[in-house]
């Protein structure tokens, strides 16, 4: 059995950038009912809202970074959201370690990270040529076809139960608006986005980040 960190209710701090993938742990913090602080990061300038050098907080230079009560910093979306779920097991946002369901959750989180997050995220590269973009959109379309199939007849990626993997998928699929990718071809994904987007914690997160009024 994995020993989880002792829970304390002092505030964690999430370093974020509005609409970036840091929105995912932001959603999970709210879903799980954590008390937390937010600090915005200027990613190009690598400075936090308070003027701190972000390189010193996360030497990788990107968000999210979650500063724990201990002062330790945890990074990488897929890891941060599982940590948050495991420290609030009553939230029901992740199955228990050691169960087959947990491996399926990790599978879904990994798919969200490497096949959705990174594939759509590649389009943010300003040097991407129209030809490269066309190839990339082809890859994204194939990944969406697989996700469309996985969501057939189920409201969430794990079935009937909402989990951190759904928050991750929602956060990065939300970038389809930025790149004008029409989800009409994938009705299950479109319905999934509407379903997750209507959740109070998701609405609160998007308002807090200034993405919706």
CA distances from 213 to 172, 194, 205, 206, 210 (A): 20, 17, 11, 8, 7
Q: What is the pLDDT of residue 6?
A: 53
Tell whether omega for the bond before 79 is within 30 degrees of 0, i.e. cis: no
Query: What pLDDT is recorded for position 213?
Result: 87
Beta-bridge partner residues of 39: 15
Distances (CA, A) of 131 to 120, 123, 127, 145, 149: 15, 12, 11, 21, 28
Residues 16 and 210 sit within 8 Å (Cβ to Cβ): no
Q: For residue 211, what is the DSSP state?
A: S
- What is the spatial distance between Cα 59 and Cα 61, in angstroms, rounded to a whole number? 5
pTM (2 d.p.): 0.94
How confident is the model over 122-179, as pLDDT tens digits?
999 999 999 999 999 999 999 999 999 999 999 999 999 999 999 999 999 999 999 9
Whether 55 contacts 87, CB under 8 Å: no
pLDDT at 193 over 60: yes
Instruction: Please write the tens of the pLDDT for every residue from 73-112.
Output: 999 999 999 999 999 999 999 999 999 999 999 999 999 9
Predicted pLDDT of residue 104? 98
Provide the mean pLDDT of the chain. Answer: 95
Closest by Cα among 88, 75, 93 to 15: 75
Cα gap 47→102, rounded to integer Å: 36
* pLDDT over threshold 70, residue 4: no
Residues in the chain, how many? 213
Predicted local distance difference test score (pLDDT) of residue 74: 98
Q: Please report the sign of the dihedral spanned by the C-alpha atoms of residue 23, residue 24, residue 28, residue 31.
A: positive
Q: Would you state the pLDDT for residue 100? A: 98
pLDDT at 11: 82
What's the pLDDT tens digit per position in 24-57?
999 999 999 999 999 999 999 999 999 999 999 9
Q: In this model, does residue 7 exceed pLDDT 80?
A: no
Band (187; pLDDT cuts 50, 70, 90):
very high
Q: What is the pLDDT of residue 167?
A: 98
Q: What pLDDT score was predicted for residue 3? A: 61
Q: Where are the beta strands (DSSP E) in 57-185?
A: 65-67, 73-75
């Amino acid at each position: 059995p994995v020993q989880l960190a002792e829970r304390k209710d002092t505030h964690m701090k999430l370093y974020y950038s509005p609409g970036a993938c840091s929105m995912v742990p932001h959603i999970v913090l709210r879903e799980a009912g954590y008390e937390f602080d937010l600090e915005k990061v200027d990613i190009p300038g690598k400075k936090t809202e308070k003027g701190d050098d972000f390189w010193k907080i996360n030497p990788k230079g990107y968000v999210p970074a979650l500063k724990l009560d201990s002062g330790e910093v945890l990074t990488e979306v897929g890891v941060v959201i599982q940590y948050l779920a495991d420290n609030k097991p009553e939230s029901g946002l992740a199955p228990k370690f050691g169960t087959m369901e947990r491996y399926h959750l990790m599978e879904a989180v990994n798919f969200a990270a490497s096949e959705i997050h990174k594939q759509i995220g590649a389009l943010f590269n300003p040097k991407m040529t129209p030809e490269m973009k066309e190839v990339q959109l082809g890859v994204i379309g194939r990944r969406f076809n697989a996700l469309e199939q996985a969501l057939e007849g189920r409201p969430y990626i794990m079935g009937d139960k909402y989990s951190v993997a759904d928050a991750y998928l929602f956060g990065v699929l939300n970038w389809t608006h930025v790149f004008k990718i029409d989800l009409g071809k994938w009705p299950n994904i479109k319905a999934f986005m509407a379903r997750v987007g209507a959740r109070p914690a998701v609405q609160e997160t998007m308002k807090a980040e200034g993405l919706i009024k």
